[in-house]
Chain A
Amino acid sequence: MRVKLSAMRVRNELVRRIEELSGQDLLACYQCGKCSAGCPAAFAMDLLPSQVIRLVQLGLVEEVLNAKTPWFCAACQTCYARCPKGVDLSRIMEAIREIALQERGDYLVIEEIPAEELAEFPQLAFISGFRKYTA
């Protein structure tokens, strides 16, 4: 499918919300790919981290909301620490998660976690997990 690019699409409401929520300038990213190159979770992602920014730059937010990648970002900040343009991608991922959580509901449901895991996880795993995966 040929994607239609237009001013309306590249500046759509969701793009603006992602910019607002994350405080990041999406067009500052010039797609060098260093974030993807260093991401320790990239192997588990369906879109490379740099492709997430790229799709948002093109206004294709739905594709990003449908992707697994934002849920596999552990906010380790390796990308941001090395980004040549100072783009904090972990903030962009958080903004995407936030929109997805608000529109589509929680990603993590406590009842679905097996009891034995509930018993052994340290608190901070739960707390941070719920911070990232629930609205």
Chain B
Amino acid sequence: MRIAYFPGCTLNTTAKGFDNALRASFAALGAELVELPEWNCCGATFPLLVDNMLDLAAPTRVLLAAQEQGDRLAVACTMCYNVIRRTNNRLRADADALEKLNYFIEAEYRGGVEVLDVLQILRDDVGFEAVQAAVKQPLTGLKVAAYYGCMVLRPPAEVAYDDPENPHALDDLLRALGAEPVEWPHKAECCGAYLAVKSKEATAEMSYRILSSAQRTGAQAVVTNCPLCQFNLDRQQLDMGRRHGGYQPVPVLYFSQLLGVALGLDMADFGWERHYVDVRPLLESLG
């Protein structure tokens, strides 16, 4: 299987490890992520004003690029997925908007592309059973808290491919890898997202609520699919001990990293060095 792939800016830079591990894992599973030959930033957040057509131009160009490659687009970054998928929904439902944007970008996007999250593709196209069968180094005994954030769940009618109040796709994947996902109540609570650039304290508190909930269940790692959540949760922990005495940091991983590890792939370029909370003890415990 080959599928057009949009990594997005962050996976090209700070979250390169997410991207490397993802591509390698997909390849090992017989699914090739074919990066769009040319792409641009999607805008990171879906514009919420009714008349903000301008901000829809960038994601429409991404859809246009995908259209050249086929009728499906795999997106790894959950924020990009949210923006591109919602833009696509709008263009499919609103012929007037489609016409305006096509005029603006001087092209003809026809609305035919299906925008999919990579986890969704793993579940529905590759299949978690196939993933399980391909596991070479099961993550036996690893207690993990699957964390979904917001972007693949809300608004449910527009973006969710999972139960929006009790998502389990990521839990199911981790179980297929041999890990032991914990039940916890904060898997879909917001980490604060872009509030981080202006209100560090608020994001720190939001991250703390999520992380401490995960730790109360005995999770040894938090596993996510969102590069901004990963950054917020990981980075905020550096100062967390100061605010919350006795706080013990916990690694925050991308699911693709654990997928690659379980598939027995070379994990040298999985970006471990970019983590703020040291992941080496965890990796060593996995052998």
Contact = CB atoms under 8 A, between A and B. Distances in A.
A99 to B, nearest CB: 10
A54 to B, nearest CB: 20
Interface stretch (A5-13, A28-36, A122-130): A122-130
Grouping DSSP codes into helix (H, G, I), strand (E, B) and loop, the B interface class, with mixed when no group exceeds half, is loop
A12 to B, nearest CB: 19
Interface string B219-248: 000000001100100010000000000000
Contact of B155 (A20, A77, A121): A77
A84 B50 CA distance: 21
B47 A131 contact: yes
Nearest to A107: B198
Interface string B5-40: 000111001110000000000000000000000000
A77 B150 contact: yes
Contacts of B3: none
Contacts of B206: 40-41
> Size range of the interface on B?
35 or more
Interface residues of A, number: 41
A74 B48 contact: no
A21 interface: yes
Contact of B228 (A22, A93, A122, A132): A122
B190 A76 contact: yes
Contact of B197 (A40, A75, A126): A126
Contacts of A90: 48
Contacts of A117: 197
Contacts of A91: 48-50
B201 A128 contact: no
Nearest to B50: A23
B234 to A, nearest CB: 11
Nearest to B276: A120
Nearest to A81: B154
B224 to A, nearest CB: 13
Contacts of B73: none
Contacts of A22: 48-50
A81 B155 contact: yes
Contacts of B47: 94, 131
A71 B14 contact: no
Question: Across chains A and B, which 3 residue pairs bring their CB atoms closest together, nearest first?
Answer: A76-B190, A129-B197, A77-B154
